Structure 1
Amino acid sequence: MKKMKVSVFSLVVAGSLVLAACGEDNATTNPEEGGGGEAAGLETNIVTIATGGASGPYNIIGSTLAETYSSQYDVNSRTQTTGASVENVNLIKEDKIEMAFTMSDVVSQAVEGTEGFTEPTDKISQIAALYPNYVQIVTTADSGIETFEDLRGKRIAVGDQNSGVEVNARMLLEGYGITYDDIDVDYLGYAEAADGLRAGQIDAAFLTSGLPNASLLELSETLDIRMVSIAPEDVERVAEDQSYFIALEIPAGTYGNEEPVPTAAIMNALVVHSDMSEDDVYKLTKTFFENLDTLENSHQAAADITLEAAQEGLVAPLHPGAQRYYDEQ
């Protein structure tokens, strides 16, 4: 009888283990249960995120996001450093990437087929409005440049050619009646522009990004710099033709500046290829917002990303997967 009791007990335990295993299988194979079914993975095997320069917020935040996607979904997710906004939307249009960080004005131009884009596109869908990119115009303290108008006749770094930084710089200069014929233009990214200022090879630079810009922060610690302001009334005037510009301030102490620096800003956008499936974009959107703390730890610009403001000022059609996520909130 003793042996019989042991055998029955063993059968009960074995049966319980089998049932538990079946329950786990059911939990991982039903993508609609458990708030989105992250354990089921993604339909796509690759999520390439186009960012910007290696030291910029796009790439720092994007790299953390790619690591999160890779870890959570066992997918090949990585960043691709680029010249930023214009190149990023072109990479989506060319079906070469799945996701990108970009400035809102460039997305709008690409969707509508205006400015540097020859025809409209329906390949770009938006996931969210992100954080503001601040126009940060920096010069050396002894350059003699004190106002925006003083940039005329100077050698200016305006960002990588066809980047969002360059597009914004050109628009702002034109808003002050300054064309590229009135300055010596250098197409330099963040790090190269900082090096150029340090070496005395350029007079000023546009380093438009979230706050703080790593290259500008490092420069401020080794060089006596001056931030060139843009008055709110001038931002409003330029915004009459370029509605993307808003008036904000670079807070005191960001780069050793004692007072806030008035300037222009443009919202950033997170976009995806429109052909990505609704389920995949739902999961990517959900994971993005559930890991905002992790993204903020990588770069403080992400602190300005909020679920509440994510659908404000959208400049491209909202992807159905992102819409599904927002509808659940």
Structure 2
Amino acid sequence: MKKRFRFLAILSILALFVMAACGEGGGDSAEGNSGDDGGKKESDIKFLSILTGGTQGTYYPLGGSFAEFITDETGIKTTAESSQASAANMTALQDGTAEIAFVQTDIAYYANKGELMFEKDGAIDSVSAIGSLYPETIQLVTTDKSGIKTFDDLKGKKVSVGAPGSGTYANAEQLLEIHGLTMDDIKAQNLDFGESQESLQSGQIDAAFITSGTPTGAVEALNAVAKVNIVPVEEDKADELIEKYPYYAKDTIEAGTYGLEQDVPTVSVGAMLVIQNDIPDDVVYDITKAIYENTDKITHAKGALISKEKGLEGIGIPVHEGAQRYFDEANGK
């Protein structure tokens, strides 16, 4: 009997040791979880996707350069993807289908506030800015054969205005408004830049709104086969537009661009990069540095306008802390 009690006592002691060991391991696990805020860790980031726009715009070639810089400088495999541009890009980042995107500054503002095309689904608060890039010129493109010289000439004509909810669509709608027109006054066509170029070339449409950095590939392609005209936004109309929508600025398409014989006055918004909020600060710092420290390697003409000194200009949404740290250091703040 004593042997039996002794045996049971030994088993009890061993059981206590096992339970203590398990409890200690569980305590470590709980402690590790308590420090996890649910966001991504730096070590989790293996791949990044940059959403751009149509292949005939400015976002796409620049995105390819940025993806290369990020891959080379950070070791994170990064690819540039074509997309439906600004509004769709903001929604895609909100949905988690990509991490980085190009977007117009006005569209980013609408998304952050839940206004206009974002009013139905609500504000997008999971995306912040990396930095601003360059002016995006609103170009009302037509050909010499169309006979269109002014906004009034658009009445009853087939005009490409971009996809509904896109940045180009919003710009077209607001410029038409300032000139006393609505979408009902034209035969609106929802085409991307490449489709607009092909349709202008074939005579299927009469004009196209294109919001993109100049020179834009689609318009250059059109100029190779037809005489391009850009309908001007006269100064008084530009002033009226800016008074109502202050994120616009006056701009000029210089003579020689697309074979133009003289400067054409117009307006522009800004292009910027945005990123998901939960990308770690250190990763965003490295991404921002990779882009803004390699602008001299950008072959597109807009590369000359991208700089760390102007990286925070015109941004109307919160800046990611990692990007802010880079600009503060780079600009000596």
CA–CA separation in structure 2 for the residues paired with 1:227 and 1:154: 16
Q: Decide whether the 8 Å contact of 1:247 with 1:265 is kept in 2.
A: yes
Q: Decide whether the 8 Å contact of 2:56 with 2:217 is kept in 1.
A: yes
Q: Deviations over 1:39-65 (max 9, x none)?
A: xx8651121101000121101000111
Match of 1:293 in 2: 296
Q: Which runs of 5+ in 1 are unaligned?
A: 1-40
1:249 aligns with 2:252: yes
For this pair of structures, how many residues does the alignment match? 287
Superposition TM-score, scaled by structure 2 size: 0.83
Q: Deviations over 1:65-118 (max 9, x none)?
A: 112222333322111211100000001111111111110000000000110112
**Residue aligned with 2:257, SS:** coil
Which 10-residue stretch deviates more, 50-59 or 154-163? 154-163
Q: How does 1:32-43 map to 2 (within 5 A)?
A: 43=44
**Residue aligned with 1:311, SS:** coil
**Residue aligned with 1:101, SS:** strand
Residue 223 of structure 1 deviates from its aligned partner by 0.4
CA–CA separation in structure 1 for the residues paired with 2:104 and 2:43: 27
Match of 2:37 in 1: none
Q: Percent identity?
A: 37
Match of 1:105 in 2: 106
Match of 2:190 in 1: 187
Match of 2:32 in 1: none
Match of 1:280 in 2: 283
Aligned residue type for 1:300: A
Residue 176 of structure 1 deviates from its aligned partner by 1.4
**Residue aligned with 1:177, SS:** coil
Q: Deviations over 1:265-290 (max 9, x none)?
A: 11111111111111000000011111
CA–CA separation in structure 2 for the residues paired with 1:83 and 1:157: 15
CA–CA separation in structure 1 for the residues paired with 2:263 and 2:291: 31
Aligned residue type for 1:85: S
CA–CA separation in structure 2 for the residues paired with 1:224 and 1:288: 36
**Residue aligned with 2:211, SS:** coil
**Residue aligned with 1:222, SS:** coil
CA–CA separation in structure 2 for the residues paired with 1:142 and 1:55: 23
Match of 2:324 in 1: 323
Q: 1:124 to 1:200 in 2, by over 3 A?
A: same
Aligned residue type for 2:145: D
Residue 303 of structure 1 deviates from its aligned partner by 1.4
Aligned residue type for 1:188: L
Off by >6 Å, runs of 4+ in structure 1? none
**Residue aligned with 1:240, SS:** helix
1:51 aligns with 2:52: yes
Specify which of 135, 138, 146 is matched with residue 141 of structure 2: 138
Aligned residue type for 1:219: L
Q: Decide whether the 8 Å contact of 1:129 with 1:268 is kept in 2.
A: yes
CA RMSD of aligned residues (A): 1.3
Q: Decide whether the 8 Å contact of 1:127 with 1:319 is kept in 2.
A: yes
Residue 140 of structure 1 deviates from its aligned partner by 1.5
